[in-house]
Amino acid sequence: MKIAKLSEAKDDLSRYVDYVRRGGSVRILLRGVPVADLVPIEATNASSRSAEQALADLERRSILRRGSGEAWEELLEAGPALRGRSAVEDVREEREKGW
């Protein structure tokens, strides 16, 4: 978030509006006290944006970084199979026995 005095914001309003249109925000100060925030208007219908646009927006704001390659094969394989009783059954037995 950028911070600007009211006089600066008045003099360079178009520059600050361009900054906000690109996703930034500006806090306006009057005599050193915050009085307003200039922020982008959110879309009223979130589903109107495509997933690609949403990812690009998150990436531009440094919230995520998309990978450039494919996932390792080991990550896509199933994990080890469970054997024996489930943890829920073990907890129930412990409660019944009063442990």
Query: Whole-structure pTM over 0.75, yes or no?
Result: no
**Strand pairing class (2-5; 26-30):** parallel
The pLDDT tens digits for 2-57 are 999 999 999 999 999 999 998 899 999 999 999 999 998 875 455 556 888 888 88
pLDDT higher than threshold 80 for residue 71: no
- Per the document, the length of the chain is 99
State the Cα torsion 28-30-34-39 to the nearest 10°: -20
Categorise residue 31: left if φ over 0, alpha if ψ from -120 to 50, beta otherwise.
left
pLDDT higher than threshold 50 for residue 67: yes
Q: DSSP character for 72?
A: P
The tokens describing 18, both together, are 């361009």
pLDDT at 83: 76
Type of residue at 51: A
